[in-house]
Amino acid sequence: MRRSLTVVPVLGLLAVACGGTDEGSGGDEVTLVTHDSFTVSDAVLDRFTEETGYTVRVLRGGDAGVMVNQAVLSRGNPQGDVLFGIDNTLLTRALDEDVFTPHEAEGLAAVPERFQLDAGEYRVTPVDTGDICVNYDRAWFEERDLEPPATFDDLADPAYRDLLVVQNAATSSPGLGFLLGTVAAYGADGWQDYWQRLADNGVEVVDGWEQAYNERFSGAGDGDRPLVVSYASSPPVGVVYGGEERPEQAPTGVLTDTCFRQIEFAGLLDGAANEEGGRALLDFLISREFQEDMPLQMFVNPVREDAELPEEFTRYGEVVEEPWTVGPELIAAHRDDWVDTWTSVVLG
Amino acid sequence: MRHAAHRAALLAGPLAFFALFFAYPVAAITDRGLRPDGVWQPGRVAEVLADPGVAQVLWFTLWQAAASTVLTLALALPGAYVFARLDFPGRRLLHAFVTVPFVLPTVVIGAAFLGLVGRGGLLDDLWGMRLDSSVWAILLAHAFFNYAVVVRTVGGLWAQLDPRQEEAARVLGASRFAAFRRVTLPALAPSVAAAGLMVYLFTFTSFGVVQILGSPRQATLEVEIYRQTAQLLDLPTAAVLTLVQFAAVGLLLAAHSWIVRRRESALALVDPARTARRPRGAADRALLGGTLAVIALLLVLPLAVLVERSLSGPDGYGLTHYRALAAEDGGTFAVPPLDAIGNSLSYAAVATLIALAVGGLAAAALTRRAGRFTRGFDALLMLPLGTSAVTVGFGFLIALDEPPLDLRSSWILVPLAQALVGVPFVVRVMLPVLRAVDERLREAAAVLGASPLRAWREVDLPLVRRALLVAAGFAFAVSLGEFGATVFIARADRPTLPVAVARLLGRAGELNYGQAMALSTVLMLTCLLTLLLLERLRPARSTELVA
């Protein structure tokens, strides 16, 4: 036997080890299609299985936009039963394409009206909210005895020249959210001038959140920009994953007047193989149990009014009282030309 | 006639694989774009083509790929010589090491390169130089990724060229350079062309590097197709761009096969172990030194940045992040690193087996001079390299969605998609070697009564075993790096290393960042070990097989 041929058995063994659970979409399994940031505690999923008898299979793929487009492409013959993670910037595209079967989830009464963007039709159920806001590096401003900015207008003030890094609105969802926030603040005809002022004030544009936050932001890495577009929940995340000792105050803060509200929805996919299981899973997504597990898993806010926030959120997070919003239909109608215009204003 | 039947039989497998997992899905998604409601929309095609933005994207794509290829060849060809012909301490380790970049996810490399050439990066500290958002960063990153392609493809053949031929030329009075130009260069030309083509294809369809290191204004066709498909769901535009990319890649492949067709002559291949020697003379030493310097600056430095970041914790250097990797905090977010490594390795193993089977059969079928059809097939197999992953991914989604072939959420889809990219490598690496096998050996075997299969086993296999291993190494590396279409398909949760890294990078918090870097380091080491293992499996030198 020659040694060179041992490579094949070795690979073969690995292949066998790879087993992997294959299809088995039986009646006792419900499949959740979601984006790659979805997470949930195993214990909570197990509870769902105990209560309903359904085991949950999670399929993740790409970001929210990719996921929604997959659902549109496979309409009527979906990859799973329930889709979770479609937000208000993408909602209309999916609703226009009839991707969902209506389901009035149990427990909707505990969810405020303002989150129910498809009220009366029940094609989608709101599950969580998050805010895209400018974050600032507290230490940086303290060292320089400089008051941090507070509003969109401040960001274009020469006192804060060359301090802000944002994401490309064409390729990144926080980038798009921040753009939409400025559209809400300055109106459909005024935001272009505002962005021109931002550009003149040295705003830096990078491709995605990872680069902006990890590489360019001084509050997280070795970057030199103390202002970054991120999430209202980023300070708590930074503390939870910041090391052993919990500080008095999160080292980064949020400019609560610059927030754009994102709402994430779930819906029963049209043509679901396990419709009953899907309905049960939708109900579960807005149950207190799931809603209270969610914040420290995905760092988003629950939609249920009676869900309690974990201490990390109340202590290190900031409450966004009045976020900026833009209606889903308006976003759907203008998103592409807004992004195109933004690109030519900011990137020249 | 028996030959033709024989070839057809060999080609059946690869053809079926290619048709089912590439041609059919891509055709399905393109068709949906061009005929949105079952009606042809020729107007749309003209509209897209007339868009000046598209011309701009195409132009940028073409020239940055050309520049990247030239830079990579310039940096890596001396390396190919050094690894093929010189024997120096640590050679095997280095040879395995240069392939590591090839498998690292671009999101990680982007971070490393920004740490080097970005603001506040190493270059900035030393000389106040910043290359991010400049095309130089893109070119350097491409050279970083593709260095191994050249070293392995060209070096693999170079190591097996008989040095005595060049020596004979020297004895006959040729200068060192003339001997190289007349003897070695013609023999190497096909594999240099093949490597150059590979690099061109890779950089032509570059996605992550351009997105992360380029300015938001710089887009390759691949980036644009991704934007139109995955973000805007503008399938008609995406379909037209896909066809444009096909046309460009097709032209490339045609040009390549035209160049290579007449250049593959029978070479006297010898055991590589005997061709390497200690460096002699100033030229050798300069080449060796130069190669080591290039490797240090281009490959080691960015990777060292990663390792350094993975070790720097809140309180100085230490293994904090590695320990954090081992701790489990429950939930579906956390991927135990061991699981991720296991997933990565097993997917890559299956993908390698598929790629070797399909690519090996195809290469065997294409070995002999053949008609136009066969040559066409050779080029066809390269097409997946020139096709946008998102096109293939979304194609899978709408084409492979019915029993018995509803593979959308099956784990096998991952290695299948990875093998699609691995096959061209296998074919490219195997073909020059297979074609260089002296036909008379096969004829002799046939005359002595060996069946075609037996003749292949007795004659070709012993000679190409090394090439097989090189091919396997490539296929494996490609799969580990998780190129490919499956990223765009929702799949059951068996996260691989690159997926786990991307997840960690997508969250705030120093620990997450550190763990992402630690996991990238683990990926690097895993890859290095795998490749070293393959290097170790050097074929024995005897030419008879113990069946």
B355-386 pLDDT tens trace: 999 998 888 888 765 566 666 777 788 888 88
Exposed / middle / buried, residue B262 (Cβ in 10 Å: 0-12, 13-18, 19+): exposed
Residue A9 banded pLDDT, cuts 50, 70, 90: very low
Q: Which residues in B lie closer than 8 A to residue A45 (C-beta atoms)?
A: 332
A153-207 pLDDT tens trace: 999 999 999 999 999 998 889 999 999 999 999 999 999 999 999 999 999 998 8
Radius of gyration (C-alpha) of chain B in whole angstroms:
24
pTM above 0.75, yes or no: yes
The answer on pLDDT for A303 being more than 80 is yes
CA distance A27 to chain B (A): 17
Residue B255 banded pLDDT, cuts 50, 70, 90: confident
Which pLDDT does position B294 carry in this prediction? Answer: 93
**Chain B contact probe: residue of A70, A299, A337 with most B CBs at under 10 A:** A70
Q: Which residue of B has its CA nearest to A206?
A: B216
Best CA proximity match to B475, nearest among B531, B514, B404? B531
Beta-carbon separation of A238 and B107 below 8 A:
no
Give yes or no for a contact between B337 and B504, defined as CB atoms under 8 angstroms apart. no
Which pLDDT does position B260 carry in this prediction? Answer: 64
> Which residue, chain included where needed, has tokens 């066969």?
B374
**Smallest Cβ distance to B506: which of A11, A37, A58?**
A37
Residue A19 banded pLDDT, cuts 50, 70, 90: very low
The answer on pLDDT for B121 being more than 70 is no
Beta-carbon separation of A237 and B503 below 8 A:
no
Beta-carbon separation of A60 and B491 below 8 A:
yes
Which pLDDT does position B128 carry in this prediction? Answer: 64
CA distance B312 to chain A (A): 12
Beta-carbon separation of B539 and A72 below 8 A:
no
**Smallest Cβ distance to B332: which of A31, A39, A62?**
A39
Which pLDDT does position B431 carry in this prediction? Answer: 79
CA distance A234 to chain B (A): 6
The answer on pLDDT for B545 being more than 80 is no
Beta-carbon separation of B489 and A34 below 8 A:
no
**Smallest Cβ distance to A224: which of B120, B211, B233?**
B120
Which pLDDT does position B484 carry in this prediction? Answer: 62
Q: Which residues in B lie closer than 8 A to residue A1 (C-beta atoms)?
A: 546
The answer on pLDDT for B94 being more than 80 is yes
Beta-carbon separation of A214 and B331 below 8 A:
no
pLDDT above 70 as % of chain B: 88
A330-345 pLDDT tens trace: 999 999 899 989 999 9
What is the average pLDDT score of chain B? Answer: 82
Which pLDDT does position B239 carry in this prediction? Answer: 93
Which pLDDT does position A11 carry in this prediction? Answer: 42
